[in-house]
Chains A and B, each alone.
Chain A
Amino acid sequence: MALVLSEDQQLLKDSAKNFCEQNAPVSVLRGLRDSKDEQGYDQTIWSQMIDLGWAGMAIPEAYGGFDFGYGGLGVVLEETGKTLVSSPLISTVLAGATAIVQLGSETQKQDLLPKIVAGELLTAIALDEHVIHNPSKIATTATRIEDGYSLNGSKTFVLDGHIANMLIVVARTSGETDSEQGISLFLVDANAKGLNVARTIMVDSRNCSNIQFNNVAVAEDALLGELDQGFNGLDTVLDIARIGIAAEMLGSMQTVFESILEFLKQREQFGVLIGSFQGLQHRAAEMYSEIELCKSSVRAALAGLDDPNTTRAEIAELASMTKAKLSEVFFLVSNEGIQMHGGIGMTDEFDVGFFIKRARVAQQFLGDASFHRDRYATLNGF
């Protein structure tokens, strides 16, 4: 398990960096926000990302992908995080495609994955039901009807729910509301009858949805994975997505930190550069150290995902370690991003505000630091 990038990964990273800087800088997100764009992402940029093969990065060749592993997708996410690219990369590629690869039947994989690679299918995972992430606490039900299932309940914080063609819905087919037993996943067409999708505009200018299911009927073959036994597979899908989101957070915090350093080296007060003040130097040095730890955690977690010998339990531990750590440090760096820039950090004109807004959403997405420390402790038997 190497913690340094391979030559191929480095090339990919450089090319992704170049693309994001040239084609998808933070000003694109700002534009989407200001114009109240209905989709919440730039279709042209997304098409270019598809052309670059990013959607197929971690999908096996057998299903039209490029088999470049999560190490590959991870470096792309790190770069998109640097400029806060808003695109279906998280919802469809990181989460959706992973769910289908991990849980799908051969038919489902053959059918759906090539469409994701080609940019023809957008997905969203409808999981959370509460203000706090808790993937086993599922009240949305899927009850048996003739020829399939009927879904009832409501979901919240569904990333890209309003643009998805297909929802991956986590529902209860048996058991108590907070039991890991009895959870099943379903593929639901976004146009299905009884589905009500309400877009929510989030503080980070990305888009989520609240979704209601009123007797939404799906066929037998809509089941993704095993009936009643969906939780373990789901948890692995979520773990992979948690590691991917951590890679994105790593990119974002690096941008903030670079901006801080640049400011410390050019802003003068009291007749000297403020970067010469020890009070600021030590905070910068501590942030640097924390970011280095984040980088190592993300690399280790991505390498773990691509190593066929890694067990599910090891992936879970890597994911919780990484998501907890990155959430804490992105919190720190985004706060310092405002404080160390002083007044200008508070202005909307300056980009750092976009990063603190993104930080809070990313921190909570798929479990915040305290969720993951609790899970890490449980996984380690204490």
Chain B
Amino acid sequence: MQSQQEFRIETRTWLEQNCPESMRTSMVQEEVIWGGRNAEFANPDSAIWLQRMAQKGWTCPTWPSEYGGGGLDKDQAIVLAEELARINARPALTSFGISMLGPVLLEYGNHQQKQEHIPKIVRGEIRWCQGYSEPGSGSDLASLSTKAELQGDNYLINGSKVWTSYADKADWIFCLVRTDFDVPKHSGISFILFDMASEGVSTKPIQLISGSSPFCETFFDDVKAPASNLVGRLNEGWAIAKRLLQHERTMISGFGLSAGQSDDGGTTSSISSLEGTAMHYRGDSKKLSDPVLRDQIARFKIDADAFAHTSRRSLEESKQGQGPNATSSMLKNYGCELNKRRYELMLQAIGTQGLGWEGEGFNDEELQLTREWLRSKANSIEGGTSEVQLNIIAKRVLGLPDILSLAQK
């Protein structure tokens, strides 16, 4: 068996030869690669980088090679991540297929479903969106009422979803539907996949306080989905739904680690060094002149350090192939709150230059920061609110009595 050191050398060599120079710079928002039928490559090197990484399965390093994944073990994946970080390589592909659907499809899907969908996720050929929240079902997700009825070989789907990220750009959807209305709410949910190009699917973007529209309302009007697209067993979709949320939360918790978070969920360069930016804008050298801001930045950075160590420890503690668990709620909650703190401090750091909306008087980075600051407010709502995460920690990690148990019966 290959030693870790050999793997590192081999990986380093391959990356040196295959990662285009322009891909070794911090990601900019417009160049995040989401793949899909209508994939956009603002920088042509992105297409080359994606193609090369996908061929090795390294867009999904730990997924089985049988389905096009990298087939790496946990330690090798850490080495790969370290080597990518060493050259500041951009993510070749960012997608909800990778961060959310793929892992649960590998766990719960049948062979045929994996064969059909996993390789396309690895190669970035199909862009997925998430059909979870509904107008009447936010934190109480399990109360969802989008209905799926079996008619012949198809499910007939009617209802609507909301906060569907990039539904207007996605090719397929993984969707929670109610398949039984006569049982307790958790026991009548199923998990189904279908093509967003199907007849009866329509989407409408929602404009956010940040001015952008990363989310949509999504409507289903007699949409037909083949019965074979049901993942897992009928009416047992809630377990899959929760499992997927753990993956989603782990992904979102990464915002607490990153330099910043764009509308696309990827990291951007608009926020580099908080303290450096503050000193630059305030004309300070050597030491920040505002002692209160200085203390707040120090506290933030200390918490961010401690959080980074915690994410890493959590990764080291998780057993090979086991994936995230309830502590993903802790990471999600803390990471999101950190990211929000980061933006608040950044805004404070640059004073009135952080308060522009558009036009003259502000540079692009400043305007982007203002928008990202507003966008970051959603971090503690999306993927389950901070309050829901605290409920989960209390119940699943600390074993405290469930306040909602009566309400759920």
Contact = CB atoms under 8 A, between A and B. Distances in A.
Contact of A377 (B297, B313, B394, B403): B297
Contacts of A4: 313, 316-317
A298 to B, nearest CB: 9
Contact count band on B: 35 or more
Interface string B302-313: 110111011011
B28 interface: no
A2 B316 contact: yes
Interface stretch (B44-52, B85-93, B385-393): B385-393
A380 B394 contact: no
Contact of A288 (B313, B387, B391, B398): B398
Interface string A276-319: 11100110111011001111110110000000000000000000
A288 B397 CA distance: 9
A325 interface: yes
B259 interface: no
B403 A277 contact: yes
A376 interface: yes
Name B's interface SS. helix
A76 interface: no
A321 B334 contact: no
Nearest to A272: B401
Given A289-B393, A293-B334, A382 B403 contact: no
B302 to A, nearest CB: 5
Contacts of B394: 281-282, 284-285
Which of A278, A281, A300, A370 has the largest number of chain B CB atoms within 10 A?
Answer: A281
A297 B309 contact: yes
A343 interface: no
Interface residues of A, number: 40
Given A273-B401, A325-B303, A377-B288, 20 more contacts: A3-B316, A4-B313, A4-B317, A261-B399, A275-B400, A275-B401, A278-B403, A281-B391, A281-B403, A282-B391, A285-B390, A293-B303, A293-B334, A296-B309, A321-B305, A373-B295, A377-B297, A377-B298, A380-B275, A380-B298
Interface of B: 275-276, 278-279, 286-288, 294-295, 297-299, 301-303, 305-307, 309-310, 312-313, 316-317, 327, 330, 333-334, 387, 389-391, 393-395, 397-403
14 contacts: A3-B313, A3-B316, A4-B313, A264-B400, A265-B399, A276-B400, A284-B398, A285-B398, A289-B333, A293-B306, A373-B299, A374-B294, A381-B275, A382-B278
